[in-house]
């Protein structure tokens, strides 16, 4: 909305700054950070007054982990509302609305609703069983279908969204993917990324810290894709308008840092599925729209490892009746091995940061 102030630069010169993408990205990041800091205590107090506390799993179910996490039982959940409010306000104020921004926000809002419903059912029933898994997948499927329909019907994205690009390869691999492949592909990205962050959100600050590093990588990628000169230099697809997604990523970065202020150990609030499902879907849809879904596997390396550890654990137990890890997701394995919670988080952050750098570096290796 504030981008329209650029038209009045003849009255006051500095207003022309609202026309610069880089300036708006910085302002969106700073505002979302401040909003998260300001709204955080109020939303946390509101959630605590409503007794929005997620029911923990018993010692009979998770063993020693229940003892290690016993101090978390009174921490309110649904902190994803802090993130959603901060990001939405910042994007509304500083991003120029186009089909990319609208689809990204739609996916983010839709998954926030699903996550909120899941959290609310857990709180109201006072157990860890939230929304049925099939209903979650159905909701994610509907969101993916609507998002894809918008992208296919809009003239700006109708052709480019069908293209398939791969890391380390300088030309488009498939110019026109059929819808029967495109929809499952998008659904897999949204469901995979949202559930991967959900699985990572098991200890204080882990998921949101790794989200920060992912935003640091995906944001520049969106900016590069929307810049004709840089995209030509990097040999990636040029997609006019995707630069506005850098505003979204900057707002995500700022809000995540602000949320981390309250989510750092010992956490004052958990993001819950309200935050984790939505953040994963947001990062996934942005990567899909800028033709970097496979690069996301590199950037979100920690999220991938967390999800794979669960798949391997379940598969091993069902086929061999043996567990590979002491507990999955893998961050719990290291906790049960005796690592301090903060040590697990910091080391995973370091790896996540290196993954983000590797993802950015992959753009030049073509």
pLDDT tens for 131-167 read 787 889 999 999 999 999 999 999 999 999 999 999 9
Query: Is the predicted pLDDT of residue 128 greater than 70, yes or no?
Result: no
Q: Give the C-alpha separation, 101 to 110, whole Å.
A: 14
Query: Is the predicted pLDDT of residue 58 greater than 60, yes or no?
Result: no
DSSP state of 57: P
- Rounded to the nearest integer, the mean pLDDT of the chain is 90
**Residue corresponding to tokens 């939405």:** 88
pLDDT of residue 62: 54
DSSP state of 189: H
Q: How far is CA 64 from CA 187, 326, 338, 360, in A?
A: 36, 11, 11, 39
Query: Is the predicted pLDDT of residue 304 greater than 50, yes or no?
Result: yes
Query: Is the predicted pLDDT of residue 105 greater than 90, yes or no?
Result: yes
Least confident of 9-18, 136-145, 255-264, 306-315: 9-18
At residue 228, the 3 state secondary structure works out as helix
Residue-wise pLDDT tens digits, 351-365 = 999 999 999 999 988
Comparison of pLDDT for 127 and 200, the residue scoring more: 200
- The distance in angstroms from the start CA to the end CA of the chain is 38
pLDDT of residue 153: 96
pLDDT bracket for residue 63 (50, 70, 90): low
pLDDT of residue 171: 86
Q: What number of H helices and E strands is found in the chain?
A: 15, 0
Least confident of 11-20, 282-291, 352-361: 11-20
pLDDT of residue 365: 85
Nearest alpha carbon to residue 275 among 135, 139, 109: 109
pLDDT of residue 125: 74
pTM equals 0.94
Helices (H), 166-243: 179-200, 206-225, 228-234
Q: How many CA atoms lie within 13 A of 196 on its CB side?
A: 27
Q: Give the C-alpha separation, 156 to 240, whole Å.
A: 8
Count of C-beta atoms within a 10 Å radius of residue 63: 14
pLDDT bracket for residue 69 (50, 70, 90): low
Average pLDDT over residues 218-232: 95
Query: Is the predicted pLDDT of residue 93 greater than 80, yes or no?
Result: yes
Query: Is the predicted pLDDT of residue 328 greater than 50, yes or no?
Result: yes
pLDDT of residue 52: 78
Cis, bond preceding 286 (omega within 30 deg of 0):
no
Q: How far is CA 77 from CA 54, 84, 122, 268, 276, in A?
A: 6, 14, 10, 9, 11
Q: Give the C-alpha separation, 76 to 41, whole Å.
A: 12
Q: Give the C-alpha separation, 59 to 168, whole Å.
A: 47
| Helix 179-200, helix 301-320: angle, nearest 10 | 90
Query: Is the predicted pLDDT of residue 294 greater than 80, yes or no?
Result: yes
Average pLDDT over residues 211-218: 96
CA angle 268, 272, 277 (to 5 degrees): 140
Residue-wise pLDDT tens digits, 233-270 = 999 999 999 999 999 999 999 999 999 999 998 899 99
Residues near 211 by beta carbon (within 8 Å), at least 6 away in sequence: 197, 252, 256, 279, 283
pLDDT bracket for residue 202 (50, 70, 90): confident
pLDDT bracket for residue 61 (50, 70, 90): very low
Q: Give the C-alpha separation, 37 to 154, whole Å.
A: 37
Strand partners, 53: 76
Burial of 294 (0-12, 13-18, 19+ CB in 10 A): middle
Q: Give the C-alpha separation, 63 to 61, whole Å.
A: 6
Q: Give the C-alpha separation, 103 to 146, whole Å.
A: 9
pLDDT of residue 10: 63
pLDDT of residue 75: 87
Query: Is the predicted pLDDT of residue 57 greater than 50, yes or no?
Result: yes
Q: How far is CA 182 from CA 102, 166, 245, 251, in A?
A: 20, 15, 21, 28
């Amino acid at each position: 909305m504030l981008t329209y102030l650029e038209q009045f630069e003849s009255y006051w010169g500095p207003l022309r700054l609202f026309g610069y993408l880089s300036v708006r990205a910085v302002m969106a990041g700073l505002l979302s950070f401040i909003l998260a800091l300001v709204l955080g205590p109020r939303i946390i107090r509101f959630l605590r007054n409503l007794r929005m506390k997620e029911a923990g799993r018993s010692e009979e179910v998770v063993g020693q982990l229940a003892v290690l996490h016993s101090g978390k039982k009174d921490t309110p959940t649904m902190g994803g509302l802090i993130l959603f409010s901060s990001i939405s306000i910042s994007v509304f104020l500083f991003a120029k609305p186009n089909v990319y921004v609208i689809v990204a926000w739609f996916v983010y809002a839709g998954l926030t609703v699903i996550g909120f419903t899941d959290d609310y059912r857990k709180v109201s029933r006072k157990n860890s069983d939230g929304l049925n898994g099939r209903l979650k997948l159905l909701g994610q499927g509907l969101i993916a279908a609507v998002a894809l329909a918008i992208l296919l019907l809009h003239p700006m994205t109708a052709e480019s969204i069908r293209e398939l690009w791969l890391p380390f390869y300088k030309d488009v691999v498939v110019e026109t993917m059929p819808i029967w492949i495109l929809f499952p592909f998008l659904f897999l990205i949204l469901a995979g990324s949202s559930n991967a962050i959900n699985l990572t959100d098991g200890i204080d600050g882990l998921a949101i810290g790794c989200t920060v590093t992912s935003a640091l990588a995906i944001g520049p990628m969106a900016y590069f894709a929307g810049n004709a000169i840089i995209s030509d230099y990097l040999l990636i697809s040029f997609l006019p308008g995707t630069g506005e997604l850098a505003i979204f990523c900057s707002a995500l970065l700022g809000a995540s840092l602000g949320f981390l202020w309250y989510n750092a150990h010992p956490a004052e609030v958990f993001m819950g599925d309200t935050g984790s499902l939505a953040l994963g879907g947001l990062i996934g849809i942005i990567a899909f729209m800028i033709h970097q879904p496979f690069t996301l596997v590199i950037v979100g390396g920690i999220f991938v490892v967390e999800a794979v550890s669960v798949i391997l654990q379940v598969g091993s137990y069902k086929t061999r009746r043996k567990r590979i890890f002491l507990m999955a997701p893998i961050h719990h394995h290291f906790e049960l091995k005796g690592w301090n919670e903060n040590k697990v988080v910091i080391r995973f952050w370091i790896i996540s940061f290196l993954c983000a750098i590797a993802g950015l570096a992959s753009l030049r290796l073509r």
